[in-house]
Amino acid sequence: MSDSLENYKRIKNKRKRKKKHKKLKITLSVILASLAACYLLFVFSPIPFIKKWRTIYIETAMTTNSHKWLATYFIPHYIIDEVMAERDAQEAYQKKLQSSWDNTKDTTTTQKAKTEEESFYEKYWELDSASFKNFLSSHSYYLNNGYNNIDINNIDNSYSIATTKGDEVLAVDVPNNTIIIGIKGDGYVAKLAIVKNIDQVTIQTSQYIGSHGETAGVYAQRYDAEVVINASAFRDAGGHGSGGLIRGACVMDGVETGDPERSFWKFVGLKNDNKMYVGNYYQINPSDYKWGLEFYPALIVDGQNVVDGTYGMGIQPRTAIGQSRSGDFMMLIVDGRQVGYSLGCTVSDCEQVLARYDAYQAMNLDGGSSAIMIYKGEQITKPSSVSSLGRFLPNALVIKKAQ
């Protein structure tokens, strides 16, 4: 009797195990089938929404130095080629672009003398006057030495000050002609620095150029800079370059110091007339320029948006510069590759931010893990580099303090 009971239990347990195994197999089959369906849908679907994000995924992976495998391992090469080929037409269009400043008019008129306050709000038109006056009403000590000496550091966003475009004001340094604006977009966080005196803008190279670069913080300390951002691209094999070799043209005081590209790259630089021009390096005379460098693509030329969508570059950390018709110089740094904080943005997003603040010429620069901004010695962006101090840079755009 006991043997029969024992056999019955064994058979029952065996059936249970078989049932469990069968359920597990079914579950795994369903999961694998679902994953396969998702893969096929993502890779081959013509649905516009899916196609858009597939394209951005491919572009984002293929425009990194060391993560191209995120696309090439899983997506057929012909699909990748189709996506990247769309950039060819835009490159051909970009090659023809050349700044002229022909559409600008001399708007100088004789005006009655303005008060110090009126001149301040005219110069810093980006400030929402109601918001700023409300701030000053409870922080009147900032006016102890007049409007021309206002120096507000709100990088930690302790105060609520808005721009005329609804963004956050993070700093106003009138003695050094600078305003810092916090930008929040769809999936990204950025900082925009605007300098009202173009004469403060310089390019400085590493003391060890040819061997290795230096961090943005080192440039800031050496020059006691108001603002520092990354400038030129550099030779970066496998994403582990030392920043010692400039890639692309780099003009300093009329002399070429870089390694000009003969491809689809665009040149952007400040001429001796203090206007920023976008064009092709092989068509310019370096001696006409105070400084200049190469990258791609152009964003705004003579007030016109000249970039469409992602330009085959996906979503990345970004660096971009611009100049308004009045001469204000803009530097935009977009943090990226940090889930939960900021993924990055497209080049069109950069164009829209700079256009919002009246850029008349604008250019995308080398961003990625190099993108960084220092303000008064403090790092105010979060680079995606391995080191929190950012990459070693061959050179930097250094905004010197006003003389």
Angle between the N-to-C axes of helices 48-62 and 77-95, in degrees from 0 to 180, rounded to the nearest 10:
80
| Residues counted in the chain | 403
| Residue 151 within a domain | no
Contact 362, 320 (CB under 8 A): yes
The whole-angstrom separation of Cα 346 and Cα 227 is: 24
Candidates 380, 323, 348; CA nearest to 59 is 348
In the structure, what pLDDT confidence band is assigned to residue 14 with cuts at 50, 70 and 90?
Answer: low
Q: Which of 88, 122, 140 is the last residue of a domain?
A: 88
Q: Is residue 205 located within the same domain as residue 275?
A: yes
The whole-angstrom separation of Cα 365 and Cα 249 is: 12
pLDDT of residue 110: 62
In the structure, what pLDDT confidence band is assigned to residue 149 with cuts at 50, 70 and 90?
Answer: very high
Partners of 88 in the beta sheet?
Answer: none
User: Does residue 395 carry a pLDDT above 70?
Assistant: yes
Q: Is residue 214 located within the same domain as residue 351?
A: yes
pLDDT of residue 58: 81
Residue given tokens 């057929």 in the structure block: 76
Q: What is the DSSP string of 217-260?
A: HHHHHHTT-SEEEE-SEE--GGG---S-SEEB-EEETTEE-SB-
**Mind listing the pLDDT tens digit for each residue in 318-344?**
999 999 999 999 999 999 999 999 999
**Mind listing the pLDDT tens digit for each residue in 62-71?**
777 667 888 8
For the chain, give the mean pLDDT. Answer: 91
pLDDT of residue 344: 97
Percent of the chain with pLDDT over 90: 68
Exposure string of 56-80, with b = 16+ CB inside 10 Å and e = fewer, is: bbbbbbbbbeeeeeebeeebeeeeb
| Residue 148 within a domain | no
| Residue 63 within a domain | yes
Q: What's the number of domains the chain is made of?
A: 2
Q: Is residue 335 located within the same domain as residue 293?
A: yes
**Mind listing the pLDDT tens digit for each residue in 367-389?**
999 999 999 999 999 999 989 89
pLDDT of residue 68: 81
In the structure, what pLDDT confidence band is assigned to residue 51 with cuts at 50, 70 and 90?
Answer: confident
| Residue 144 within a domain | no
In the structure, what pLDDT confidence band is assigned to residue 39 with cuts at 50, 70 and 90?
Answer: confident
- Mean pLDDT over 119-130 rounds to 98
Q: Is residue 21 located within the same domain as residue 99?
A: no
| Residue 150 within a domain | no
Contact 174, 197 (CB under 8 A): no
Percent of the chain with pLDDT over 70: 92
Contact 196, 324 (CB under 8 A): no
Distance of alpha carbon 325 from the chain centroid: 22
Q: Is residue 259 located within the same domain as residue 337?
A: yes
Exposure string of 108-136, with b = 16+ CB inside 10 Å and e = fewer, is: eeeeeeeeeeeebeebbebbbeebbeebb
Across 107-222, the runs of DSSP E, i.e. the strands, are 151-153, 168-173, 178-185, 188-195, 201-205
| Residue 125 within a domain | no
Q: Is residue 260 located within the same domain as residue 335?
A: yes
pLDDT of residue 108: 55
Instruction: List the structure tokens of 277.
Output: 């021009």
* More confident call, 318 vs 41: 318
In the structure, what pLDDT confidence band is assigned to residue 16 with cuts at 50, 70 and 90?
Answer: low
Domain range for 357: 91-105+158-399
**Mind listing the pLDDT tens digit for each residue in 73-112?**
878 887 887 777 777 788 888 999 999 998 666 555 566 7
Helix or strand (DSSP H, E) at 92: helix 77-95
The whole-angstrom separation of Cα 47 and Cα 312 is: 19
- Mean pLDDT over 297-312 rounds to 94
Secondary structure of 303-325 in HEC code, one letter for each residue? CEECCCCCCCCCCECEEEEEEEC
The whole-angstrom separation of Cα 268 and Cα 174 is: 27
Q: Is residue 83 located within the same domain as residue 208?
A: no
- Mean pLDDT over 22-44 rounds to 80
**Mind listing the pLDDT tens digit for each residue in 220-240?**
999 999 999 999 999 887 667
pLDDT of residue 62: 78
User: Does residue 40 carry a pLDDT above 70?
Assistant: yes
| Residue 126 within a domain | no
In the structure, what pLDDT confidence band is assigned to residue 250 with cuts at 50, 70 and 90?
Answer: very high
| Residue 122 within a domain | no
Q: Which of 57, 88, 119 is the last residue of a domain?
A: 88
Q: Is residue 330 located within the same domain as residue 259?
A: yes
Q: Is residue 62 located within the same domain as residue 97?
A: no
Q: Is residue 162 located within the same domain as residue 238?
A: yes
Cα dihedral 100, 103, 104, 107 in deg (nearest 10): 160
**Phi/psi-derived region of residue 210, left when phi > 0, alpha when psi is between -120 and 50, beta in every other case:** left
User: Does residue 263 carry a pLDDT above 80?
Assistant: yes
Q: Is residue 271 located within the same domain as residue 370?
A: yes
Contacts of 365 (CB under 8 A, 6+ apart): 230, 231, 232, 233, 293, 295, 319, 320, 321
Q: Which of 63, 88, 113 is the last residue of a domain?
A: 88
Q: Is residue 227 located within the same domain as residue 80?
A: no
pLDDT of residue 160: 94
Contact 247, 259 (CB under 8 A): yes
The whole-model pTM stands at 0.85
In the structure, what pLDDT confidence band is assigned to residue 390 with cuts at 50, 70 and 90?
Answer: very high
